[in-house]
Amino acid sequence: MQTQDFLFEIGTEELPAKQITPLSSALAQNFKQQLDQEKLSYEAITPYATPRRLAILVRNLATEKASQTIEHRGPTCEIAFNQDGTLTAAAQKFAANLGIPINELQTIETPKGKRLIATTLSPKISTLDLLPQIAEQAVSHLPLPKIMRWGNNSIEFTRPVHWLTMIYGTTTVNTSILGLMATNQTYGHRFHHPKAIALPDAAAYEYLLNTQGYVIADFAKRKNAVHTKINAIAAIKGHVIIDEELLEEVTGLVEWPEALLGQFDLRFLNLPDEVLLMAISHQQRCFPILDNRQKLLPYFIVVSNIQSKNPQQVITGNERVIKARLTDAEFFYNTDLKIPLTDHLQRLPTVIFQTKLGSLYDKTTRLIAISKYLAIRLASDATLSARAAQLAKTDLMTAMVGEFPELQGIMGYYYAAKQNEPLPVAIALKEQYLPRFAKDYLPQTDLGAILAIADRLDTLVGLFGINKIPTSEKDPLGVRRVAVGVIRIILNSKLNLDLPYLLELVKQQYANKLENTAVVSQVLDFIFERLRYFYSEQNVNLNSFNAVYACRPVNLTDFDKRLRAIEDFRTSPAAEALSTAHKRINNILKKNHYEVGVNFNPNLAKKSAEKNLYLQLTKKSEIIFNLCTNSSYKEALSILAELKPSVDSFFDEVMVVVDDTEIRANRLALLAQLHKLLSAIADISLLEISSKK
């Protein structure tokens, strides 16, 4: 089959840097779906993306859509044939409509009886004829977060569109998309080569843009070029901090990257590192440089989108902007240091946390009470914990955090340390917001963990209490992230906390402000729902989770220990047999009346197997329950596994449901005793060992 390369490109005004990669991926995926739907064969689809273009190159795309066999079903045989076996008018019309001879009709058996069937071949269609519709569909289904119109037309896109390139082999595709006729021309760098570049064929696209147009069209190659150049420049002074997200964004800002070295005044190194990084990396999108001791140096790397004849002018311009930003930050920092954090407490009542949940002062009051309880419960310093809670939100009132909200907590740490607050208090102010996102760092101190948990539980109970509950599709307040934060902190620090009691305590801090009376149970269920998701991300078997959850442990650390033990137990030879036995016991006890409190009487035992099972239970129960009391679940399950032979023999030799009511009741009592033991750590009947993870 003959093939040709196909090029599609949309040329635009500068696209938002963070949208380029998602849009590029979506465009390639949309073309793939359309080509696959049309059953057009191709070798590969290569995406290209720069600030001024979204493009794809389809390599070795078939020149035509091959004929497809089409099956046509006609009338049933009762309608298609006369009594003498000849075809009826309906059958003849069926053949005539398809343009096939009558003798090519066949019959087929269907659920509704025999009927006529015929097959035809669809005509071959030129790929060149299909490409306009394919491209139109691919563009129309792009996930554009924001759209705009330009000029006097009604065309909409995320940025104004200036050119459209569509070439199949050497042929320009005759079509119009987004109000523009397709051509065989592309455009190079806005400053280095603003003129049109005529493409002799689709395959020449990347090469000509690179050699003539000063454009590295391939995003990955351009990203690698940026990475290589900033490392080379940084080596002059030290080494560069390369944040992957920043690298991705900078790559989306340039078409022809050039790395340049700039510097700033030494005095700015007196500012906290986080402030410097905020101004240099986040605001100016430059890369800071470190020395061998991982200390910031007064240098930065700017990635320019132009190969300037006077690079110093580009450097000076960036130095001037960074100096202005750092001068502002220096002013904010020095001004904030003059005001004790405690002075900001009087401003907290003026800032609303949430309309129905009160001000930041109200939240602070609740945090103090919750933190005190947690500190006492966890044998930490309640006085220091209360102090950290009292100061937790004060840095939100500072000039620095007002300018850089991302520095909340971090500036609280620096200001508290400078103002001679106890170091654990200062650290807790910084750690209260950890983790900020998935896989972020966790609090490393007791006070930090306590304040972080208190803050999150206060938020969860408050929002659920006023029915701000996330739906399956929407979570605008990030409540799921808050719950996962609680889970990660508790498990990381191995904190022993009774969640229902703690949630009830948090609820009490709201007095009667919460309209949702079921808030405690709903938040508890929500946390365990997030816990299920948390473990699924770690590839923990869902059946293991369900088995532990069935026992309703209210301590997440204890839950984790049980789960880890059950995951190990699943691989033991006894696991499947005991799980099956437990299911059988459940069924027997449900179907037969069992009087709670009745103990097994060994004198009524008729079979050696039931006597032996009773002896084994008597011997091992106390050991297993003692181990469970000490959370030694792996050891307890190991001993539980030793019951397998006795349990197997019992079910092989003993009939539980017998006519003798006294014997039946006695054997049910023995099974109830075994059931209690098998449920001590988890509901083993739910393991379903043979099922897939």
Residue 252: predicted pLDDT: 97
220-232 pLDDT tens trace: 999 999 999 999 9
318-340 pLDDT tens trace: 999 999 999 999 999 999 999 99
SS3 per-residue string spanning 599-614: CCCHHHCCCHHHHHHH
Q: Could you give the CA distance from residue 568 to residue 397 in angstroms, rounded to a whole number?
A: 50
Q: What is the mean pLDDT of residues 374-388?
A: 97
- Say yes or no to pLDDT of 653 above 80: yes
Lookup result for tokens 């299909």: 130
Tallying the residues shown for the chain, one arrives at 693
Q: Could you give the CA distance from residue 191 to residue 513 in angstroms, rounded to a whole number?
A: 62
Comparing C-alpha atoms, which of 461, 524, 449 is closest to residue 489? Answer: 449
CB 30 within 8 A of CB 137: yes
Q: What is the mean pLDDT of residues 647-658?
A: 90
Q: How many helices (H) and strands (E) does the chain have?
A: 25, 22
Q: Could you give the CA distance from residue 441 to residue 589 in angstroms, rounded to a whole number?
A: 48
Q: What is the mean pLDDT of residues 477-485?
A: 93
For residue 573, whether the previous peptide bond is cis, meaning omega lies within 30 degrees of 0, is no
**Radius of gyration for the chain, computed over Cα atoms and rounded to the nearest angstrom:** 36
Residue 692: predicted pLDDT: 41
Stronger pLDDT, 554 or 119, i.e. the higher one? 554
Q: Could you give the CA distance from residue 117 to residue 153 in angstroms, rounded to a whole number?
A: 51
| Cβ partners under 8 Å of residue 190, min gap 6 | 52, 255
Residue 690: predicted pLDDT: 56
SS3 per-residue string spanning 432-444: CCCCCCCCCCCCC
Q: How far is CA 389 from the centre of its chain?
A: 30
Greatest mean pLDDT range, 3-17, 77-91, 144-158, 590-604: 3-17
Angle in degrees, CA 197, 201, 206, rounded to 5: 60
User: If pLDDT is split at 50, 70 and 90, which confidence band does 67 have?
Assistant: low
Residue 196: predicted pLDDT: 96
Judged by phi (left if over 0) then psi (alpha if -120 to 50, else beta), residue 38 lies in: alpha
Poorest-confidence range of 14-23, 164-173, 181-190, 474-483? 474-483
DSSP string covering 261-286, please? EEE--GGGGGS-HHHHHIIIIIIT--
393-439 pLDDT tens trace: 999 999 999 999 999 999 999 999 999 999 999 999 999 999 998 88
Q: In the Cβ-directed half-sphere of 279, how many Cα atoms lie within 13 Å?
A: 28
| Cβ partners under 8 Å of residue 275, min gap 6 | 329, 333, 400, 404, 407
| Cβ partners under 8 Å of residue 115, min gap 6 | 73, 74, 75, 76, 77, 80, 107, 108
The 10 Å Cβ neighbour count of residue 188 is: 22
Q: In the Cβ-directed half-sphere of 335, how many Cα atoms lie within 13 Å?
A: 14
* Overall pTM > 0.85: no
Poorest-confidence range of 345-359, 384-398, 468-482? 468-482
Residue 452: predicted pLDDT: 98
| Cβ partners under 8 Å of residue 135, min gap 6 | 8, 31, 166, 173, 175, 177
Q: What is the mean pLDDT of residues 45-63?
A: 97
What are the distances in angstroms from CA 111 to CA 105, 115, 454? 19, 10, 64
CB 414 within 8 A of CB 425: no
Residue 153: predicted pLDDT: 81
Q: Could you give the CA distance from residue 378 to residue 386 in angstroms, rounded to a whole number?
A: 14
Residue 691: predicted pLDDT: 45
User: If pLDDT is split at 50, 70 and 90, which confidence band does 693 have?
Assistant: very low
Residue 325: predicted pLDDT: 95
CB 117 within 8 A of CB 73: yes
Starting at the edge strand found earlier in the chain, the sheet holding 171-172 runs 44-50, 53-62, 3-12, 161-168, 171-172
- Say yes or no to pLDDT of 516 above 50: yes
Residue 432: predicted pLDDT: 97
Mean pLDDT of all residues belonging to the chain: 93
Comparing C-alpha atoms, which of 666, 687, 689 is closest to residue 678? Answer: 687
What are the distances in angstroms from CA 449 to CA 181, 385, 428, 463? 61, 10, 8, 21
What are the chain's domains? Answer: 3-65+126-211 (3.30.70.260), 69-121 (no CATH), 219-337 (no CATH), 342-538 (1.10.3210), 569-686 (1.10.730.10)
